[in-house]
Amino acid sequence: MGGGGGRHRPQQFQSEIKGARHDRRRDPENCQCEQIFRRHPGVEEREFRVAQGEIHALAGENGAGKSTLMNVIDGILQPDSGEIIRDGEAVRISSPAVAQHLGIGLVHQEIALCPDVTVAENMFMAATNVSRSFLMDYNALRKKAKIVLEELADINPATLVRDLSISSQQLVEIAKALTLDCRVLILDEPTAALTETEAQVLFAIMRRLADRGISIIYISHRMAEIFDNCDRVSVFRDGQYIVTYNVADIEPGDVVNAMVGRVIDKLYPEKQSPAEVSEEIVLKVDRLSEARRFQDISFELKKGEILGFAGLIGSGRSEIVKGICRLEGDVAGEVWLNGQKLALAEYADSIAAGMVYLSEDRKGDGVFLDMSIAENVSALDLDQISGFGGLISSSKEHGLAERLGRTLNLKYGRLSDPVSSLSGGNQQKVALAKMLSVNPKLIFLDEPTRGVDVGAKSEIHRILRELARAGVGIVTISSELPELIGICDRILVVREGRISGEVAGEAMTEENIMHLASVLDHRKQTA
């Protein structure tokens, strides 16, 4: 397949791969050093090879085995069979410490920092553990951390991790890996919590590391990132290695079809037709304000439509939605749901009224990692699964989880398994199932497909449209503008705690949204 032969690209990817072909300076086929990760499914030998100095993408649906393989390479899990070959020699990686000694560094999809110690202490924790010094030289530690952070982000090494935003914590995770003398750097969905600017800084660092001969394994569901930054891409499906492509020779649709084993015709479902447009108001928000975070927020959501919130990180878009649900802040203003004015003091009142919120922070607020899948799904309303005397009925609990899991195509072993045993995307589906378990009248979804593969994304998009058509109010926040444009009927743009404008129809473009999100004056504009 030719890389520049003018082939027709599937429409759903056109806005996601702008500038996708950069000048690839490395030829992975001719590199002298390779890391080979070999396994033996059945009688057929299959290999995943990473060349020295290449950026090699690893793609696959949630549950395909990507993170599991990386955990084996990092020594967290032990293989049942097969071998890992580094520089031509088979190695046994019995622990993450052995992996680090071999020059392998892994940045996990889920943030795993110690919140009550500083950025510098987190970055050099592995070195601290092997140090024989009785006292810690904190000044030296902060100086070394600052050197690494300077090329990545403006983060104070003396700051406690718990005081950082999610995106800054992700950057610290990456900085922590860069402190190791890596030969192979594994990045598992590293941009999921980053802004576009932060992501571009990361990509520049990746290219510099690759130029120094460091091999990078890059796990991502975002086709634009793969096609703009990677040399080759390997696809996994259902725990099996499927294929490896040279990125320059293929189109995004080739990767997606290999991932799901079928052709995805539409990433986004059909929007409202003119006949479906209703004047019935599901949600009305009037003059909502909260101290310094957002002011004078007024908007309406009509029956059958999906309303989007766009804006730069820190614009106040999530704070507005949390304020409506009374999750945080001292909020003034009125909220009406299906024509009824609500008296909300706390989030429990919001749930009782039929409004629920899906958090962007899956690990912190979305799911209970140590509880079972079934327990998570039913957590918002235990009355619906209670039997005689108020005791929880296991059959009802499992029945509810099984039904919603089937609706969301959730991949799991047993419903009694802890949510921590699931891949990141399947954890997200559990969080969504928890929202759906209470038959809500309105759902606020904050980054609903973060860390979710393209096949699961299309399923979630379809489910949201079906819910909207069934009369459930849908309001979604997303940092991915193609997603907002693809699924929403209207988009409100937030800047500095105010709604700076609205886009709909043909005016719903990335350019118009970014103009409203970053416009310098304070005049309200409508595209």
In the numeric block, the tokens 């957590």 are attached to 379
Q: What is the pLDDT of residue 339?
A: 93
pTM higher than 0.85, yes or no?
Answer: no
Are the C-beta atoms of 21 and 248 separated by less than 8 Å? yes
- CA angle, 121 as apex, 120 and 125 as ends, to 5°? 125
Task: Report whether pLDDT(198) > 90.
Answer: no
pLDDT digits 0-9 by tens, 446-473? 988 876 777 778 888 888 999 999 899 9
Domain extents for the chain?
11-22+52-78+92-260, 279-354+442-527, 371-439
Q: What is the rounded CA–CA span in Å between residue 392 and residue 385?
A: 6
Q: Which residue has the higher pLDDT, 13 or 510?
A: 510
Structure tokens that stand for 278 in this block: 């209703």
Task: List the strands of the sheet with 306-310, edge to edge.
Answer: 355-358, 442-446, 473-477, 306-310, 490-495, 498-504
Task: Report whether pLDDT(338) > 90.
Answer: yes
Task: Report whether pLDDT(496) > 80.
Answer: yes
Q: What is the pLDDT of residue 41?
A: 37
Task: Report whether pLDDT(12) > 50.
Answer: no
| Section 13-19 average pLDDT | 30
Return the CATH class of domain 11-22+52-78+92-260: alpha beta
Q: What is the rounded CA–CA span in Å between residue 24 and residue 51?
A: 14
In three-state form (DSSP H/G/I as H, E/B as E, the rest C), the secondary structure along 308-329 is EEECCCCCCHHHHHHHHCCCCC
Is 458 strand, coil or helix? helix
**pLDDT band of 19, cuts 50, 70, 90:** very low
Q: Which residue has the higher pLDDT, 31 or 208?
A: 208
**pLDDT band of 265, cuts 50, 70, 90:** low
Q: What is the rounded CA–CA span in Å between residue 470 and residue 306?
A: 12
Identical topology for domains 11-22+52-78+92-260 and 279-354+442-527: yes
Measure the N-to-C terminal CA separation of the chain; round to a whole number of Å.
41
Q: What is the rounded CA–CA span in Å between residue 411 and residue 212?
A: 39
Is 109 strand, coil or helix? coil
Identity (one letter) of the amino acid at 236? F
pLDDT digits 0-9 by tens, 406-418? 888 888 889 999 9
Is 340 strand, coil or helix? strand
Report the mean per-residue pLDDT for the chain.
Answer: 82
pLDDT digits 0-9 by tens, 352-401? 999 999 988 777 677 888 899 999 998 888 878 887 777 888 888 888 89
Task: Report whether pLDDT(402) > 70.
Answer: yes
Residues 6 or more apart in contact with residue 218 via CB below 8 angstroms: 55, 56, 57, 58, 187, 190, 206, 225, 226, 229, 230
Q: What is the pLDDT of residue 153?
A: 78
Q: What is the rounded CA–CA span in Å between residue 451 and residue 198?
A: 17
pLDDT digits 0-9 by tens, 30-84? 444 556 655 433 323 367 899 999 999 999 876 778 888 888 999 998 988 888 9
Question: In degrees rounded to 5, what are phi and psi of residue 89?
Answer: -120, 135
Q: What is the pLDDT of residue 369?
A: 87
Residues 6 or more apart in contact with residue 324 via CB below 8 angstroms: 285, 288, 331, 335, 350, 355, 444
pLDDT digits 0-9 by tens, 307-316? 999 987 778 8
Q: What is the rounded CA–CA span in Å between residue 473 and residue 504?
A: 18
Task: Report whether pLDDT(149) > 70.
Answer: yes
Residues 6 or more apart in contact with residue 392 via CB below 8 angstroms: 378, 382, 385, 386
Distance of CA 121 to the CA centre of its chain: 26
* Topology at the third CATH level for domain 279-354+442-527: Rossmann fold (3.40.50)
Task: Report whether pLDDT(4) > 70.
Answer: no
Q: What is the rounded CA–CA span in Å between residue 220 and residue 144?
A: 30
